[in-house]
Structure 1
Amino acid sequence: MNYNNHAQQLRELVKVLIRSLGILEKDEASCCGITLGQCHALVEVGKAKTISLNELAELLNLDSSTMSRTVNNLVNANLLERKMDESDRRYIQIQLTEEGKKIFQTIEESMEAYFHGVLQAIDESKRDQVMESLRLLIDAIKKNKCC
Protein backbone atom coordinates (compact mmCIF):
# COMPACT_ATOMS: atom_id res chain seq x y z
CA MET A 1 0.00 0.00 0.00
CA ASN A 2 1.44 3.40 -0.91
CA TYR A 3 1.73 6.48 1.29
CA ASN A 4 -1.43 8.19 -0.06
CA ASN A 5 -3.50 5.05 0.52
CA HIS A 6 -2.16 4.79 4.07
CA ALA A 7 -3.04 8.43 4.72
CA GLN A 8 -6.58 7.89 3.43
CA GLN A 9 -6.95 4.71 5.46
CA LEU A 10 -5.67 6.50 8.59
CA ARG A 11 -8.18 9.31 8.03
CA GLU A 12 -11.06 6.84 7.70
CA LEU A 13 -10.02 4.84 10.76
CA VAL A 14 -9.65 7.95 12.90
CA LYS A 15 -13.02 9.23 11.67
CA VAL A 16 -14.70 5.97 12.68
CA LEU A 17 -12.92 6.02 16.05
CA ILE A 18 -14.00 9.61 16.76
CA ARG A 19 -17.58 8.93 15.74
CA SER A 20 -17.72 5.76 17.82
CA LEU A 21 -16.40 7.52 20.90
CA GLY A 22 -18.56 10.58 20.25
CA ILE A 23 -21.72 8.50 20.24
CA LEU A 24 -20.60 6.81 23.45
CA GLU A 25 -19.82 10.13 25.12
CA LYS A 26 -23.12 11.69 24.08
CA ASP A 27 -25.01 8.75 25.55
CA GLU A 28 -23.00 8.88 28.77
CA ALA A 29 -23.23 12.66 29.17
CA SER A 30 -26.94 12.82 28.50
CA CYS A 31 -27.65 10.34 31.26
CA CYS A 32 -26.29 12.88 33.73
CA GLY A 33 -28.34 15.73 32.29
CA ILE A 34 -25.40 17.77 31.00
CA THR A 35 -23.97 18.48 27.56
CA LEU A 36 -20.93 16.74 26.15
CA GLY A 37 -18.80 19.88 26.57
CA GLN A 38 -19.92 20.23 30.17
CA CYS A 39 -19.15 16.56 30.73
CA HIS A 40 -15.57 17.03 29.50
CA ALA A 41 -15.11 20.10 31.70
CA LEU A 42 -16.54 18.36 34.74
CA VAL A 43 -14.27 15.35 34.27
CA GLU A 44 -11.13 17.49 33.90
CA VAL A 45 -11.99 19.58 36.97
CA GLY A 46 -12.68 16.37 38.89
CA LYS A 47 -9.32 14.92 37.92
CA ALA A 48 -7.44 18.12 38.75
CA LYS A 49 -9.40 18.78 41.99
CA THR A 50 -8.72 22.54 41.55
CA ILE A 51 -7.92 24.27 38.27
CA SER A 52 -7.98 27.74 36.71
CA LEU A 53 -10.23 28.70 33.82
CA ASN A 54 -7.21 29.16 31.53
CA GLU A 55 -5.74 25.79 32.48
CA LEU A 56 -9.08 24.12 31.84
CA ALA A 57 -9.47 25.86 28.48
CA GLU A 58 -5.99 24.72 27.48
CA LEU A 59 -6.66 21.13 28.56
CA LEU A 60 -9.86 21.01 26.50
CA ASN A 61 -8.35 22.93 23.59
CA LEU A 62 -11.04 25.65 23.79
CA ASP A 63 -10.86 29.45 23.84
CA SER A 64 -11.37 31.19 27.18
CA SER A 65 -14.76 32.69 26.29
CA THR A 66 -16.22 29.29 25.37
CA MET A 67 -14.73 27.77 28.50
CA SER A 68 -16.10 30.63 30.60
CA ARG A 69 -19.65 30.04 29.31
CA THR A 70 -19.35 26.31 30.00
CA VAL A 71 -18.08 26.93 33.52
CA ASN A 72 -20.82 29.53 34.14
CA ASN A 73 -23.47 26.99 33.17
CA LEU A 74 -21.94 24.38 35.48
CA VAL A 75 -21.74 26.91 38.33
CA ASN A 76 -25.40 27.83 37.75
CA ALA A 77 -26.26 24.12 37.84
CA ASN A 78 -24.43 23.84 41.19
CA LEU A 79 -21.89 21.39 39.78
CA LEU A 80 -18.84 23.68 39.94
CA GLU A 81 -17.81 26.49 42.23
CA ARG A 82 -15.33 29.33 41.84
CA LYS A 83 -13.03 30.38 44.66
CA MET A 84 -10.54 33.22 44.76
CA ASP A 85 -6.95 32.26 45.36
CA GLU A 86 -5.85 33.51 48.78
CA SER A 87 -2.42 34.60 47.50
CA ASP A 88 -3.55 36.12 44.16
CA ARG A 89 -7.09 37.47 44.08
CA ARG A 90 -6.99 37.68 40.26
CA TYR A 91 -6.63 33.89 40.09
CA ILE A 92 -9.96 32.07 40.28
CA GLN A 93 -9.90 28.41 41.23
CA ILE A 94 -12.59 26.10 39.87
CA GLN A 95 -13.57 22.94 41.69
CA LEU A 96 -16.44 20.49 41.96
CA THR A 97 -19.34 20.99 44.34
CA GLU A 98 -20.69 18.01 46.25
CA GLU A 99 -23.29 17.49 43.50
CA GLY A 100 -20.55 17.82 40.87
CA LYS A 101 -18.50 15.17 42.66
CA LYS A 102 -21.43 12.75 42.47
CA ILE A 103 -21.84 13.26 38.72
CA PHE A 104 -18.08 13.06 38.18
CA GLN A 105 -18.02 9.75 40.05
CA THR A 106 -20.93 8.42 37.98
CA ILE A 107 -19.19 9.37 34.73
CA GLU A 108 -15.88 7.88 35.87
CA GLU A 109 -17.42 4.58 36.94
CA SER A 110 -19.36 4.27 33.70
CA MET A 111 -16.34 5.03 31.51
CA GLU A 112 -14.09 2.73 33.51
CA ALA A 113 -16.52 -0.17 33.09
CA TYR A 114 -16.91 0.56 29.37
CA PHE A 115 -13.17 0.70 28.67
CA HIS A 116 -12.53 -2.44 30.73
CA GLY A 117 -14.93 -4.15 28.34
CA VAL A 118 -13.13 -2.66 25.33
CA LEU A 119 -9.79 -3.84 26.67
CA GLN A 120 -11.17 -7.33 27.29
CA ALA A 121 -12.28 -7.47 23.65
CA ILE A 122 -8.68 -6.93 22.50
CA ASP A 123 -6.47 -10.01 22.42
CA GLU A 124 -4.17 -9.85 25.44
CA SER A 125 -1.08 -10.24 23.25
CA LYS A 126 -2.11 -7.13 21.25
CA ARG A 127 -3.01 -4.75 24.11
CA ASP A 128 0.45 -3.20 24.51
CA GLN A 129 0.64 -2.75 20.75
CA VAL A 130 -2.71 -0.94 20.70
CA MET A 131 -1.66 1.36 23.56
CA GLU A 132 1.67 2.19 21.91
CA SER A 133 -0.04 2.84 18.58
CA LEU A 134 -2.50 5.23 20.19
CA ARG A 135 0.34 7.10 21.92
CA LEU A 136 2.20 7.41 18.62
CA LEU A 137 -0.95 8.65 16.89
CA ILE A 138 -1.65 11.26 19.58
CA ASP A 139 1.95 12.51 19.46
CA ALA A 140 1.82 12.79 15.67
CA ILE A 141 -1.48 14.67 15.80
CA LYS A 142 -0.10 17.11 18.37
CA LYS A 143 2.93 17.79 16.19
CA ASN A 144 0.81 18.30 13.07
CA LYS A 145 -2.05 20.60 14.09
CA CYS A 146 -4.78 20.89 11.49
CA CYS A 147 -6.65 23.93 10.27
Structure 2
Amino acid sequence: MHSSPQQTPSLAANHRPAGPNEVWCAEMMRPDLAGRPLILLIVDVHTRHPLLAVPATSVEDIATTLDRLSRHSGRPKELRIDHALEFNPALRDWAHERGVRIVQGPPGAPQWKAVSEPIIRKLADHLSGKRFATLADLGHDLENWRQHRVAEFDPVPTSNQ
Protein backbone atom coordinates (compact mmCIF):
# COMPACT_ATOMS: atom_id res chain seq x y z
CA MET A 1 0.00 0.00 0.00
CA HIS A 2 1.32 3.40 -0.96
CA SER A 3 0.90 6.51 1.08
CA SER A 4 -0.81 9.53 -0.38
CA PRO A 5 1.35 12.31 -1.82
CA GLN A 6 3.14 14.42 0.72
CA GLN A 7 1.76 17.88 1.39
CA THR A 8 4.47 20.40 0.71
CA PRO A 9 5.46 23.13 3.14
CA SER A 10 5.37 26.57 1.54
CA LEU A 11 9.19 26.74 1.63
CA ALA A 12 9.47 23.82 -0.79
CA ALA A 13 7.18 25.53 -3.27
CA ASN A 14 9.59 28.49 -3.30
CA HIS A 15 12.67 26.27 -3.74
CA ARG A 16 14.13 26.38 -7.23
CA PRO A 17 15.99 23.20 -8.19
CA ALA A 18 19.75 23.42 -8.77
CA GLY A 19 19.60 21.87 -12.24
CA PRO A 20 17.46 20.42 -14.99
CA ASN A 21 15.53 17.17 -14.44
CA GLU A 22 15.73 17.51 -10.68
CA VAL A 23 12.07 18.50 -10.28
CA TRP A 24 9.22 18.19 -12.74
CA CYS A 25 5.76 19.66 -12.40
CA ALA A 26 2.89 17.57 -13.78
CA GLU A 27 -0.42 19.16 -14.67
CA MET A 28 -3.54 17.83 -16.28
CA MET A 29 -5.70 20.13 -18.31
CA ARG A 30 -9.01 19.52 -20.01
CA PRO A 31 -9.28 22.09 -22.80
CA ASP A 32 -12.56 22.99 -24.42
CA LEU A 33 -12.13 20.55 -27.29
CA ALA A 34 -14.50 18.01 -28.80
CA GLY A 35 -14.25 14.71 -26.96
CA ARG A 36 -12.91 16.50 -23.88
CA PRO A 37 -9.48 14.82 -23.93
CA LEU A 38 -7.10 15.19 -21.01
CA ILE A 39 -3.76 16.78 -21.79
CA LEU A 40 -0.76 15.93 -19.65
CA LEU A 41 1.79 18.73 -19.36
CA ILE A 42 5.20 18.12 -17.77
CA VAL A 43 7.39 21.16 -17.08
CA ASP A 44 10.99 21.10 -15.85
CA VAL A 45 10.88 23.42 -12.83
CA HIS A 46 14.52 24.54 -13.25
CA THR A 47 14.50 25.33 -16.98
CA ARG A 48 10.76 26.12 -17.11
CA HIS A 49 10.60 24.32 -20.43
CA PRO A 50 7.62 22.14 -21.26
CA LEU A 51 9.15 18.68 -21.57
CA LEU A 52 5.94 17.07 -22.68
CA ALA A 53 2.41 17.98 -23.76
CA VAL A 54 0.37 14.97 -24.86
CA PRO A 55 -3.22 13.83 -24.96
CA ALA A 56 -3.95 11.18 -22.36
CA THR A 57 -6.93 8.98 -23.12
CA SER A 58 -6.89 7.75 -19.52
CA VAL A 59 -5.02 8.51 -16.33
CA GLU A 60 -3.24 5.15 -16.70
CA ASP A 61 -1.51 6.57 -19.80
CA ILE A 62 0.43 8.86 -17.48
CA ALA A 63 2.80 6.16 -16.16
CA THR A 64 3.62 4.93 -19.68
CA THR A 65 4.19 8.49 -20.85
CA LEU A 66 6.45 9.30 -17.87
CA ASP A 67 8.54 6.18 -18.60
CA ARG A 68 9.01 7.27 -22.20
CA LEU A 69 9.97 10.80 -21.10
CA SER A 70 12.37 9.45 -18.44
CA ARG A 71 14.16 7.30 -21.02
CA HIS A 72 14.64 10.39 -23.18
CA SER A 73 15.30 13.10 -20.58
CA GLY A 74 16.33 11.26 -17.43
CA ARG A 75 14.27 10.71 -14.32
CA PRO A 76 13.47 13.50 -11.85
CA LYS A 77 14.09 13.24 -8.12
CA GLU A 78 10.74 14.89 -7.44
CA LEU A 79 7.43 15.18 -9.25
CA ARG A 80 5.17 18.02 -8.15
CA ILE A 81 1.48 17.40 -8.70
CA ASP A 82 -1.78 19.12 -7.94
CA HIS A 83 -5.08 17.71 -6.78
CA ALA A 84 -6.05 16.49 -10.27
CA LEU A 85 -3.35 13.79 -10.06
CA GLU A 86 -3.51 13.15 -6.31
CA PHE A 87 -5.45 9.88 -6.40
CA ASN A 88 -3.89 8.33 -9.49
CA PRO A 89 -2.64 4.88 -8.39
CA ALA A 90 -0.70 4.38 -11.65
CA LEU A 91 1.24 7.58 -10.98
CA ARG A 92 1.93 6.66 -7.35
CA ASP A 93 3.11 3.18 -8.38
CA TRP A 94 5.32 4.60 -11.13
CA ALA A 95 6.99 7.02 -8.70
CA HIS A 96 7.38 4.46 -5.91
CA GLU A 97 8.96 1.85 -8.21
CA ARG A 98 11.46 4.40 -9.54
CA GLY A 99 12.30 6.22 -6.33
CA VAL A 100 10.72 9.49 -7.44
CA ARG A 101 9.24 11.55 -4.62
CA ILE A 102 5.73 12.82 -5.30
CA VAL A 103 4.91 16.12 -3.66
CA GLN A 104 1.42 17.54 -3.75
CA GLY A 105 0.89 21.26 -3.71
CA PRO A 106 -1.35 22.72 -1.05
CA PRO A 107 -4.82 23.79 -2.26
CA GLY A 108 -5.08 27.45 -3.15
CA ALA A 109 -1.32 28.09 -3.15
CA PRO A 110 -0.63 30.29 -6.20
CA GLN A 111 3.16 30.08 -5.79
CA TRP A 112 2.91 26.32 -6.34
CA LYS A 113 1.60 26.85 -9.86
CA ALA A 114 3.87 29.78 -10.73
CA VAL A 115 5.91 27.57 -13.07
CA SER A 116 3.14 25.71 -14.86
CA GLU A 117 0.18 28.11 -14.94
CA PRO A 118 1.66 30.60 -17.46
CA ILE A 119 2.55 27.68 -19.73
CA ILE A 120 -0.92 26.17 -19.37
CA ARG A 121 -2.46 29.54 -20.27
CA LYS A 122 -0.28 29.77 -23.39
CA LEU A 123 -1.23 26.23 -24.37
CA ALA A 124 -4.93 26.95 -23.82
CA ASP A 125 -4.62 30.09 -25.99
CA HIS A 126 -2.89 28.02 -28.67
CA LEU A 127 -5.69 25.42 -28.66
CA SER A 128 -8.53 27.95 -28.52
CA GLY A 129 -10.93 27.51 -31.42
CA LYS A 130 -9.06 24.60 -32.96
CA ARG A 131 -10.69 21.34 -34.02
CA PHE A 132 -8.87 18.02 -34.35
CA ALA A 133 -10.16 15.02 -36.29
CA THR A 134 -8.21 12.54 -34.14
CA LEU A 135 -6.21 12.36 -30.93
CA ALA A 136 -3.14 11.80 -33.11
CA ASP A 137 -3.77 15.16 -34.81
CA LEU A 138 -4.05 16.78 -31.39
CA GLY A 139 -0.83 15.05 -30.31
CA HIS A 140 1.06 16.36 -33.36
CA ASP A 141 -0.22 19.88 -32.74
CA LEU A 142 0.79 19.69 -29.07
CA GLU A 143 4.31 18.53 -29.95
CA ASN A 144 4.71 21.28 -32.55
CA TRP A 145 3.55 23.83 -29.94
CA ARG A 146 5.97 22.41 -27.34
CA GLN A 147 8.95 22.52 -29.74
CA HIS A 148 8.09 26.06 -30.79
CA ARG A 149 7.71 27.11 -27.12
CA VAL A 150 11.14 25.70 -26.24
CA ALA A 151 12.77 27.23 -29.35
CA GLU A 152 11.58 30.75 -28.58
CA PHE A 153 11.56 30.32 -24.82
CA ASP A 154 10.70 33.39 -22.86
CA PRO A 155 11.51 32.86 -19.20
CA VAL A 156 8.57 32.85 -16.85
CA PRO A 157 8.86 35.67 -14.29
CA THR A 158 10.24 34.41 -10.99
CA SER A 159 8.47 36.93 -8.76
CA ASN A 160 6.28 34.17 -7.27
CA GLN A 161 9.18 31.76 -6.78
TM-score, normalised relative to structure 1: 0.30
- Structure with bigger strand share is 2
Higher relative contact order by CA 8 Å / sep ≥ 6: 1 or 2?
Answer: 2
TM-score, normalised relative to structure 2: 0.28
Which entry has the higher C-alpha Rg, 1 or 2? 1
